[in-house]
DNA sequence: CGGATTTGACCCGCGC
DNA sequence: GCGCGGGTCAAATCCG
């Protein structure tokens, strides 16, 4: 299964690459955070033209807040001076504007009324009151939004730091590995009987890039390029190291394996995800678990392989024929750690069989190899997003809107929510290629794509990773899968991860996803993480995210 | 021989 | 209560 890793890594590139990208990514984020609020303010102000005093204060505060952050942040991360300047400038300008406006309005209202004649004052009073009310409402709204933003920002920043740390760790690892790495065996074994089978289906996995292509944009490959020949080769790499190190933590007590779900709850701090059946003495605490359990993240990706390799080890524990679908659904559970509650089900899309739908459920209770991290973090992030969304929905803020917004803006359909789903589900749709148009920063695009490419696997992965390393395409779908797996395991993971990170951080448009992803990363390190706490009262919700466009703007916009 | 996969049985919630 | 469907178990089997 997991053999042969081979990726020749460019130490140079990687190393250089990461930091830069990262910083860039970060920058972007910050920008966003800052910019959004600013934008809102701007818009609102002119239109409203008269903010009340109280509100005033708030606005200013907000601005300040951001700027504050900015300053704070700046020191921490080395950012290009250029950008910084821009940032600060724009921010300042905005702030000024706000202040100015506010002040003016305020004065006018109060002073004016006092000095004017009664008649005039009356009329004006009414008017102004109306306006005031109006403005207040708006301000409130804005405040709410701002709060959200603030939260997001803080999350992002904290996440970022977490990310950075991870990155650092990874890089270190990588370096150490690098030394060792040069193995490059190609185990031809990849194929075999299995191959035969697979080949039967879709023998030569013809294309791959297709989708995510945008990143490579210019280079794109598309079918034409699909040099299947090229792809066939697979590079070898160095295997185990990472794995060992990473996984080493297993700390669990392996109790009997047989103990079904019962498992002593204490064993991992992390509850067995399911235990409903058992006579759980304390039925009460189930809610959180249940919640966790219910949140699902499904990934749609084009893949000819039977299952996408996400860096985790899975054991199949069941298969069933889905009702409306000729293709069976397979059930897997994570075997990287004994008690890991994570499950996934894999199924092909009925309409388009090239699309593989993988649904993840639960959170890993163990450390993950970077390769796995990309996926895990992304999914968990998405899940978190969903959960948080539902939470906020309690407040009445995002959920509904969120969905609607997400969906509408992007033609590619970034996010879709349907209440019909039995479980709250977030769907990451990787089948649509992002529109090149949307991306304005080429470099980032690449990064952006990378993570998904990984997820998507054999198809797009190259497009993304290609940049830093040259992987030779696998021969068969099967191999492709294998290769990917390797990819995840060997040092190259750093690439993918970094890419993922970069991507996450970099693409502003992908805000929602970004937030999620980042969050997840944090969550990733800490299995239990936050998600548990939110009780998803929300009925089944369904969110779909695809790589596409500007969730962020929309999201914040209203 | 140990671990993964297969596959029919079983469990359980849900709607009728 | 019954049937249905999704999900899980676990014995049998496969495979390296
Ligand atoms: Zn796991």
pLDDT of residue A513: 45
Conformation bin of residue A247: beta by default, left when phi > 0, alpha when psi is -120 to 50: alpha
Average pLDDT, chain A: 47
Residue A138 phi/psi, 5-degree rounding, is -60, -45
> Which of A333, A359, A335, A334 shows the shortest CA–CA distance to A348?
A359
Quote the CA–CA distance of A258 and A493 in Å, as a whole number: 33
**pLDDT score recorded for residue A502:** 39
The neighbouring-strand residues paired with A428 are A299, A545
Distance A56 CA to ligand 1 centre (A): 49
Nucleotides in chain B near protein beta carbons (<7 Å): 4-9, 11-13
In this predicted model, what pLDDT tens digit does every residue of A292-336 receive, in sequence order? 557 788 888 888 887 888 888 999 999 999 888 888 999 999 998
Domain A296-387+404-430 listed as CATH 1.10.3210.10: no
Interhelix angle for A118-180 vs A11-48, to 10°? Answer: 170
Residues 404-433 of A with CB under 7 A from strand C: 422
Taking 60 as the threshold, does the pLDDT of residue A521 lie above it?
no
A343 touches strand C (CB under 7 A): yes
The more confidently predicted of residues A420 and A423 is A423
Q: Edge-to-edge strand order for the sheet containing A542-546?
A: A314-321, A328-334, A343-348, A355-361, A296-302, A425-429, A542-546
Distance A524 CA to ligand 1 centre (A): 10
Contact indicator for A237, A4 with CB cutoff of 8 Å: yes
Q: What is the mean pLDDT of residues A274-301?
A: 52
Enumerate residues 6+ apart whose C-beta is below 8 A from A515: A152, A155, A156, A381, A385
Alpha carbons A548 and A556: distance in angstroms, whole number: 16
* Mean predicted confidence (pLDDT) in A460-488: 29
Please give the backbone phi and psi of residue A254, each rounded to the nearest 5 degrees, phi first. Answer: -85, 110
Average pLDDT over residues A494-520: 40
Residue nearest to nucleotide C9 (CA to C1'): A317
Q: What is the pLDDT of residue A317?
A: 95
Instruction: Sketch the domain layout of chain A as residue ranges.
Output: 128-165, 296-387+404-430
Query: CA(A303)–C1'(C3) in Å?
Result: 36
What is the A335 CA–ligand 1 centroid distance (Å)? 6
Query: What ipTM score was computed for the predicted complex, to two decimals?
Result: 0.96
How many residues belong to chain A? 558
pLDDT in the model for residue A308: 85
Q: Is residue A296 a contact partner of residue A302, using CB atoms and an 8 Å limit?
A: no
User: If you measure CA to C1', which residue is closest to nucleotide B3?
Assistant: A315
**A361 CA, B1 C1': separation in Å?**
33
Measure A489 CA to ligand 1 centroid, in angstroms.
15
Phi-psi region of A421 (alpha: psi -120 to 50; beta: other; left: phi over 0): beta
Q: Measured from the CB, is A320 under 7 Å from any atom of strand B?
A: yes
- The answer to whether A320 CB sits below 7 Å from nucleic acid chain C is yes
Burial class from Cβ neighbours inside 10 Å (0-12, 13-18, 19+) for residue A385 reads: buried
Percentage of residues in chain A having pLDDT higher than 90: 4
**Cβ of residue A396 lies below 7 Å from strand C:** no
Strands A314-321 and A296-302: unpaired
Name the one residue in this structure whose structure tokens are 């009987």: A193
Question: In angstroms, what CA-CA distances link A19 with A57, A164, A422, A470, A501?
Answer: 39, 9, 42, 20, 11
Comparing A167 with A64, which gets the higher pLDDT? Answer: A167
Does residue A317 lie within 7 Å of nucleic acid chain B, judged by its CB?
A: yes
Residue with tokens 């069989």: A353
Residue A540 has pLDDT above 90, yes or no: no
Write the pLDDT tens digit of every residue in A109-123: 333 334 444 445 556
pLDDT in tens, A233-271: 333 333 333 333 333 333 333 333 333 333 333 333 333
**How far does residue A365's CA lie from ligand 1's centre (Å)?**
6
What backbone torsions phi and psi does residue A351 show, to the nearest 5 degrees?
-70, -50
């Amino acid at each position: 299964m997991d053999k042969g890793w081979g990726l020749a890594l460019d130490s140079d590139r990687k190393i250089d690459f990461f930091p830069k990208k990262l910083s860039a990514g970060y920058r972007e984020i910050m920008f966003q955070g800052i910019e959004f609020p600013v934008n809102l303010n701007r818009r609102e102000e002119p239109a409203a033209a008269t903010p009340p005093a109280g509100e005033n204060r708030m606005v200013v505060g907000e601005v300040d807040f951001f700027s504050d952050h900015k300053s704070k942040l700046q020191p921490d991360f080395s950012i290009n001076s250029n950008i910084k300047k821009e940032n600060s400038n724009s921010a300042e300008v905005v702030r000024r504007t706000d202040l100015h406006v506010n002040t003016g309005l305020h004065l006018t209202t109060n002073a004016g009324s006092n000095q004017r004649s009664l008649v005039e004052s009356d009329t004006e009073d009414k008017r102004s009151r109306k306006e005031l009310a109006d403005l207040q409402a708006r301000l409130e709204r804005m405040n709410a939004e701002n709060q959200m933003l603030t939260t997001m920002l803080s999350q992002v920043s904290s996440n970022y730091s977490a990310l950075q740390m991870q990155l650092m760790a990874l890089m270190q690892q990588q370096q150490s590995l690098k030394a060792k790495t040069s193995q490059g065996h190609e185990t031809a074994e990849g194929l075999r009987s299995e191959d035969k089978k697979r080949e039967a289906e879709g023998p030569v996995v013809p294309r791959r890039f297709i989708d995510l292509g945008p990143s490579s944009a210019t280079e794109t490959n598309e079918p034409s390029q699909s040099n299947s020949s090229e792809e066939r080769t697979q590079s070898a790499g160095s295997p185990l190291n990472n794995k060992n190190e990473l996984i080493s933590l297993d700390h669990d007590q392996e109790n009997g394996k047989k103990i079904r779900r019962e498992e002593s709850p204490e064993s991992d701090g992390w509850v067995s995800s399911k235990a409903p059946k058992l006579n759980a003495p304390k039925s009460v605490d189930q809610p959180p678990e249940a919640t966790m359990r219910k949140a699902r993240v499904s990934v749609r990706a084009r893949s000819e392989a039977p299952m996408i390799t996400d860096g985790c080890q899975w054991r199949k524990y069941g298969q069933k024929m889905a009702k409306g679908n000729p293709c069976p659904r397979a059930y897997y559970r994570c075997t990287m750690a004994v008690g890991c509650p994570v499950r996934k089900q894999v199924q092909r899309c009925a309409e388009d069989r090239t699309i593989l739908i993988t649904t993840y459920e639960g959170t890993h209770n163990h450390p993950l190899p970077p390769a796995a991290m990309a996926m895990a973090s992304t999914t968990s992030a998405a899940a978190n997003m969903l959960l948080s969304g539902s939470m906020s929905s309690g407040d009445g803020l995002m959920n509904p809107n969120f969905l609607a917004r997400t969906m509408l803006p992007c033609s590619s359909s970034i996010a879709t929510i349907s209440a019909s789903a039995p479980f709250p589900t977030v769907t990451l749709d990787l089948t649509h290629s992002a529109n090149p148009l949307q991306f304005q920063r080429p470099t980032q695009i690449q990064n952006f794509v990378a993570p998904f490419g990984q997820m998507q696997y054999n198809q797009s992965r190259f497009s993304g990773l290609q940049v830093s390393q040259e992987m030779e395409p696998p021969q068969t779908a099967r191999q492709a899968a294998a290769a990917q797996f390797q990819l995840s395991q060997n040092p190259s993971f750093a690439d993918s991860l970094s890419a993922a990170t970069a991507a996450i951080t970099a693409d502003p448009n992908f805000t929602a996803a970004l937030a999620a992803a980042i969050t997840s990363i944090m969550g990733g390190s800490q299995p239990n993480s936050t998600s548990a706490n939110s009780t998803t009262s929300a009925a089944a919700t369904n969110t779909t995210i695809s790589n596409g466009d500007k969730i962020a703007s929309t999201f914040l916009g209203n």
